[in-house]
Structure 1
Amino acid sequence: MPAAKTASSKSTTAHTRHAPSLESIATRYHARLRTLDSTGDSLSDGVVVPALREAIVEGVLAPGSRLSEVQVAKQLNVSRTPMREAFAQLEREGLVTVLPRVGAYVRSVTLRDVEEIYTVRAALECLAVQLASERITSLGAAQLDDVIDMMRTSVDAGDAAAYVDALDRFYAIVMTIADNRTLQQSHASLIGPVRRLRRIAMAQGGRMRASFEQAVRIRDAVVNGTGDAQDLMREQLQRACEAALDVLKNAGK
């Protein structure tokens, strides 16, 4: 177990535009919950889980950070009631480790995690682009074009955080076009670890532009039905996996 840090630790990474606090992240989700007019029963799903997920993915809560129920609940402006359920959910997502009679910690990313997650991603996302190629509509093509424009703007600005947000949307649009609920649910279950690894991979020099150029090729294959969308997606994920592995290996030196 790495040296414990408190949940108030705020690490900065190469992928974040600012160094947000857990409190500021939680405030945004509270505001969103009020806008949606949700009930208190959804506090765990609406605030605690997504706020902690974002904080872990963005590096606000560093690997090895101890997550005190009392302290985290205070920072999230919630009671302790939803905390245990939220920790259990994040443990299922591979973002948190819960040790009986010890507590919860932010889970470190291992080389095996990277290899396993990208293997599963390849199976799901290669199928997704194949289905999307078969089911593409003019609306779907327009949505892909819009998100590609967003990605291009982020690349030109050198804004890796904005680029990854746009890349998340790109994959979400592909999944929507694919129109397979089981596939979408399976992919959604990986959302936390996938986003975390995307941000790690983007720390490698040149990775953002290479990712964008390949995404454009995938878009063209899906929209034009050229038949090579799966191969292009497989190449994209292989390169992303290699980038994430390289970043983690260099960090361990």
Structure 2
Amino acid sequence: MPSSKTAMKTAEAAAPKQAKGAHAGAHSLDKIASKYHSRMRTVDATSDSLSEGVVVPALREAIIEGVLAPGSRLSEVQVAKQLNVSRTPMREAFAQLEREGLVTVLPRVGAYVRAVTLRDVEEIYTVRAALECLAVQLALERITTLGTAQLDDVIEAMRVSVDAGDPVGYVEALDRFYTIVMTIADNRTLQDSHAGLIGPVRRLRRIAMARGGRMQASFSQSVKIRDAIVNRSSNVQELMREQLAGACRAALDVLNDASE
């Protein structure tokens, strides 16, 4: 993460441009929030549950879907109003989103949607390759009948999304695929380290999956990884490296196209 002074200059430069975009997306943010409020109606809406049940997932979705663009300033007052919550759960929500790599919180300045650079993508996928190759190797060693069933269920969900041409549903299912692999690997330190890497590239991955052929290529490779884990094949790490190499290229293409 850049120094506070450098990050402040970057955020301040982006803020005037993005403030307008954040205001224009207010109705969309309201709509996203209403969906999560509906799910919370049967839950005791304490500050903690509002943060976890409404604020964090609503802002996460808004960032990934581009409703809140990179560089957007997240005013506690404005965002709380748009999400129809008090300011109480906002600070914890921003802290959680910062841990996920989606938000940057600058002391005495505020919270901003994190912008992702070409270097960020290259570094993230380099570390992901190390962690996820370890994860699939551990999963191969620890796979159970239950784990196989979970992988089969998520692969079917991915297949349905591919057939429907639904990149949003596909990315959600792909996230579940990685979560299941991490669960089967059964290493909490690995899981915690991996969780903070996915956030920054989620929006890029969402855009990339809408492009011709990327979703099908990702799915085909995921099926190979599933088969290698279940059948305890020695090439499982190589397959994961191939998957991540393709994902990295796709994310870099999205950033390069955006800069043109």
TM-score by length of 2: 0.85
Q: Show CA shifts across 1:217-250 (max 9, x none).
A: 0011000001111110011001100111011101
Q: Show CA shifts across 1:55-87 (max 9, x none).
A: 101212122323222111011111122223332
User: How much does 1:99 deviate?
Assistant: 4.3
**AA aligned opposite 1:5:** A
* Bigger mean CA deviation after superposition, 203-212 or 90-99: 90-99
Match of 1:4 among 18, 23, 45: 18
| Residues 167 and 161 of structure 1: CA distance in aligned 2, closer, same or farther (over 3 Å) | same
Assess if the C-alpha contact under 8 Å between 1:9 and 1:61 holds in 2. no
Q: Which has the higher helix share?
A: 2
**2:192 equivalent to 1:178:** no
Q: Secondary structure at the match of 2:19?
A: coil
User: How much does 1:180 deviate?
Assistant: 1.3
Assess if the C-alpha contact under 8 Å between 1:160 and 1:208 holds in 2. yes
Q: Show CA shifts across 1:127-183 (max 9, x none).
A: 111111111111211111121111111111111111111111111111111111221
Assess if the C-alpha contact under 8 Å between 2:56 and 2:97 holds in 1. yes
**2:107 equivalent to 1:93:** no
Assess if the C-alpha contact under 8 Å between 1:203 and 1:247 holds in 2. no
Counting only pairs closer than 5 Å after superposition, residues 191-202 of structure 1 correspond to structure 2 as: 191-202=198-209
Counting only pairs closer than 5 Å after superposition, residues 62-81 of structure 1 correspond to structure 2 as: 62-81=69-88
The residue aligned with 2:121 is 114
Assess if the C-alpha contact under 8 Å between 2:104 and 2:112 holds in 1. yes
| Matched length | 245
Q: What is the Cα-based RMSD across aligned positions, in Å?
A: 2.2
Assess if the C-alpha contact under 8 Å between 1:201 and 1:241 holds in 2. no
Q: Show CA shifts across 1:175-201 (max 9, x none).
A: 111111221222223342243342133
Q: Secondary structure at the match of 1:190?
A: helix
**2:36 equivalent to 1:29:** yes
| Residues 36 and 119 of structure 1: CA distance in aligned 2, closer, same or farther (over 3 Å) | farther
Give unmatched runs, 5+ long, in structure 2: 1-12
Q: Secondary structure at the match of 1:108?
A: coil
Match of 1:104 among 104, 111, 121: 111
**AA aligned opposite 2:73:** R
Assess if the C-alpha contact under 8 Å between 1:160 and 1:202 holds in 2. yes
Match of 2:230 among 211, 223, 240: 223
Percent identity among equivalent residues?
78
The residue aligned with 1:145 is 152
TM-score by length of 1: 0.87
The residue aligned with 2:246 is 239
**AA aligned opposite 2:259:** G
Taking the aligned partners of 2:228 and 2:106, their CA distance within structure 1 comes to 46
Assess if the C-alpha contact under 8 Å between 1:114 and 1:244 holds in 2. yes
Q: Secondary structure at the match of 1:104?
A: strand
User: How much does 1:37 deviate?
Assistant: 4.0
